[in-house]
Amino acid sequence: MNLAHLLVRAGQGQGSETAVAVGATRWATYERLAQRSAALAGALTGRFGLALGDRVALVQHNGPAYIELIWAIWHAGMVAVPINAKLHPKEHAYILEQSGASLCFSSEDLATGLAPLVTGLTELRELIEVGRPAYEKLVDAEPIEVIARAPDDLAWLFYTSGTTGRPKGAMLSHRNLMTMTLCYFADVDQIAPGDGILHAAPLSHGSGLYGLPHIAAGACHVIPESRGFDPAEVFALLPAHPGIALFGAPTMVKRLVEHPAAGAADTRNLKTVIYGGGPMYLVDLEQAMACFGNKFAQIYGQGESPMTITALDKAAHGDHEHPRYWQRLASVGQAQSAVEIRIADDEDRALPPGETGEVLVRGDSVMLGYWRDPETSARTLAGGWLHTGDLGALDEDGFLTLKDRSKDLIISGGANIYPREVEEAILSEPAVEECAVVGWSHPEWGEEVVAFVVVAPGAEVTPEALDRACLDRLARFKRPRRYRFVERLPKNNYGKVVKAELRTPDTN
């Protein structure tokens, strides 16, 4: 099994279809993309002399080279190490060293910062800038046949976003990624001929992973000219490409909805917005559905089981008549077809529906372990189950509601408080733009609940009003004891709130 066969097949069957577009312009057909990738694979084995299983890193903004290279790496039997372009050069260098990458392909502007930091890396042979003539010359290499790989051979080292500590490399095999690909069709959405995916989110993560089902279906990969996420550009680009799927974090969805162009934009070509990677608050989802219609699907996954733990499809989003509609909308959906979910207590014993515990996952999408870290791998995969570190509860129908990461749980006066539900209550106040709830250590209660609140531009709100919003919805002991009004929340390069930075009590 080698994932690269998916592109070879599309090159044969959909050769004249557009495979990659930049903005509104076609960049390559499937025949051309497959041919370029096979030639680049030839360069990896021939010109660079790399061996099976060698790691090849990508430190690039979204662009066509990203797509042709990742398929070339698999074609040649090597392992892709996509690294988030927005990280600091020192973080890039750390991942290059930890992964033992032999080659690194980077965007021109990123290479400048990276070059002085990688001179001491013994395993790294070359840093190649894409877009330079030397890169284009690689595409003149003799194309090679796909190198055979076993299902459990490594395909992608996925570096976790790590809101705490150093990123770890989740080892994803060809089987893991093929399982994710098939689950997309079974549980998330359909892809028809002529459809496309708009890569506004980084190709190093979710958007790149969902490139796989779109290659499998021979769909068009649209790269925005800005190479990133710009809501105005997304709206301007939609009329040029039919049947568009867009993957993004809930914060991206919120930015799209709140953009001044959203109301008047022609979004008929927007087929599906897949959101995941962080909590989607109900108020935001309702607003998004009012703005774009029933085009939403949610996935819950993590680098360790990429995009593939649960899904809440469009049908569930639109099933207003269901007696538990709102409960389902606040959930992350049901287990995807290829995985089992267990809610477990501290000793990994299964808990019944309705009880909250750690979410464990078993199935063919679950990683092989962490790269060069056997101890953490053994702990995370103990008993054959992936320990996600997320807390959640299943209902009788198998819908999973996520509470929080276990490390975010607040224990105050011996009672468990899930920040997510307090955040939902505070966000019900229209004046609140964003909020994050954490626990501060407290001599009497162990922890006390503290809310960091970003007020919407031009709006005002008092702690008393927020208290009322909480008391209307939650048990008294869950309401925040303190409110801190801030201009913005600390976020990492993936847009996730870094709660660790909010946990140090201030002296006010």
d(CA 225, CA 17): 20
Site for ligand AMP in 114-153 (CB under 6 A): none
d(CA 488, CA 491): 9
Residue 399 per-residue DSSP state? B
Contact pick of 64, 167, 202, 303 for ligand AMP (by CB under 6 A)? 303
Site for ligand AMP in 187-206 (CB under 6 A): none
d(CA 262, CA 255): 10
d(CA 201, CA 331): 23
Contact pick of 388, 461, 469, 489 for ligand AMP (by CB under 6 A)? 388
77 is an interface residue for ligand AMP by CB under 6 A: no
Q: Which is nearer to ligand AMP, 127 or 307 (CB)?
A: 307
SS3 367: coil
Q: How far is the CB of 173 from ligand AMP (least distance, A)?
A: 17
Q: Which stretch binds ligand AMP (CB under 6 A): 188-196, 211-219, 294-302, 372-380?
A: 294-302
Q: How far is the CB of 197 from ligand AMP (least distance, A)?
A: 18
176 is an interface residue for ligand AMP by CB under 6 A: no
160 is an interface residue for ligand AMP by CB under 6 A: yes
Nearest 5°: the CA angle 182, 17, 223 is: 75
Question: Contact, 386 vs 304, CB < 8 A?
Answer: yes
Q: Which is nearer to ligand AMP, 39 or 311 (CB)?
A: 311
278 is an interface residue for ligand AMP by CB under 6 A: yes
Residue 491 is encoded by which pair of tokens? 């976020």
Number of residues in contact with ligand AMP, rule: CB under 6 A? 16
SS3 438: strand
Provide the strand spans (E) within 261-370: 270-275, 296-302, 305-312, 334-335, 339-344, 357-363
SS3 505: coil
Q: Which stretch binds ligand AMP (CB under 6 A): 37-45, 93-101, 293-301, 459-467?
A: 293-301
Question: Contact, 83 vs 95, CB < 8 A?
Answer: yes
- Residue 419: alpha-carbon gap to chain centroid: 22
Q: Which is nearer to ligand AMP, 81 or 332 (CB)?
A: 332
Of 334, 206, 211, nearest to 277 by C-alpha is 206
279 is an interface residue for ligand AMP by CB under 6 A: yes
Q: Which is nearer to ligand AMP, 167 or 196 (CB)?
A: 167
Q: Which is nearer to ligand AMP, 133 or 165 (CB)?
A: 165
Contacts for 203 with CB less than 8 Å, ≥ 6 apart = 60, 62, 66, 67, 70, 82, 211
Nearest 5°: the CA angle 122, 128, 129 is: 140
Q: How far is the CB of 444 from ligand AMP (least distance, A)?
A: 30
Provide the strand spans (E) within 46-200: 55-59, 79-82, 103-106, 126-129, 154-159, 169-173, 196-198
Q: How many Cα atoms are found within 13 Å in the side-chain-facing hemisphere of 278?
A: 19
Q: How many CB atoms lie within 10 A of CB 274?
A: 26
Q: Which stretch binds ligand AMP (CB under 6 A): 35-43, 56-64, 240-248, 270-278?
A: 270-278
Q: Which is nearer to ligand AMP, 14 or 331 (CB)?
A: 331
Contact pick of 38, 381, 402, 470 for ligand AMP (by CB under 6 A)? 402
302 is an interface residue for ligand AMP by CB under 6 A: yes
Q: Which is nearer to ligand AMP, 37 or 305 (CB)?
A: 305
Q: Which stretch binds ligand AMP (CB under 6 A): 1-9, 296-304, 368-376, 449-457?
A: 296-304
300 is an interface residue for ligand AMP by CB under 6 A: yes
Residues in the chain: 508
336 is an interface residue for ligand AMP by CB under 6 A: no
Q: Which is nearer to ligand AMP, 23 or 278 (CB)?
A: 278
332 is an interface residue for ligand AMP by CB under 6 A: yes
d(CA 78, CA 386): 25
Q: Which is nearer to ligand AMP, 2 or 302 (CB)?
A: 302
Q: How far is the CB of 299 from ligand AMP (least distance, A)?
A: 6
Question: Contact, 146 vs 75, CB < 8 A?
Answer: yes
Type of residue at 395: D
Q: How far is the CB of 188 from ligand AMP (least distance, A)?
A: 12
Site for ligand AMP in 339-378 (CB under 6 A): none
Residues found near ligand AMP in the complex (CB under 6 A): 160-161, 276-279, 298, 300-303, 332, 388, 390, 402, 405
